[in-house]
Amino acid sequence: MIKWQRLGWIDYLTPQLYWEFGHRLVAFEVLVDWWSKHAYGRHMYIGHGVYRLGSSAVWRNPREMPNQILATRAYPTVQGVYFSAAVHLMATRWGDRLASQSCI
């Protein structure tokens, strides 16, 4: 995919960064930084795993997802975010919570 991105064969890339800040293997902040450096002038949209919300102590933190969204905005090579899957936003009311925190 990176080759395709670099050569302009695709219009956008949507990496799924479903790990949290400080994850023991590769932290969200490391992943978003790496992907932002590999946009090659094409659009980049960071994927967030909404299905993870509430699944563990980290994902019960009401600031984890908003902080991730805000972190992506620090990168001019990232055009936006997307959520997988929207049904989880609706079912858990996290969409309302994110909107009330001025993240989306």
Read off the pTM: 0.83
Three-class DSSP category at 12: strand
Within the chain, which residues score under 50 in pLDDT? none
Predicted pLDDT at 102: 59
The values of phi and psi at residue 93, to 5°, are: 65, 15
* Longest CA–CA separation in the chain, Å: 41
C-beta of residue 53 within 8 angstroms of C-beta of residue 100: no
Predicted pLDDT at 103: 62
Angle at which helix 28-36 crosses helix 64-72, to 10 degrees, equals: 20
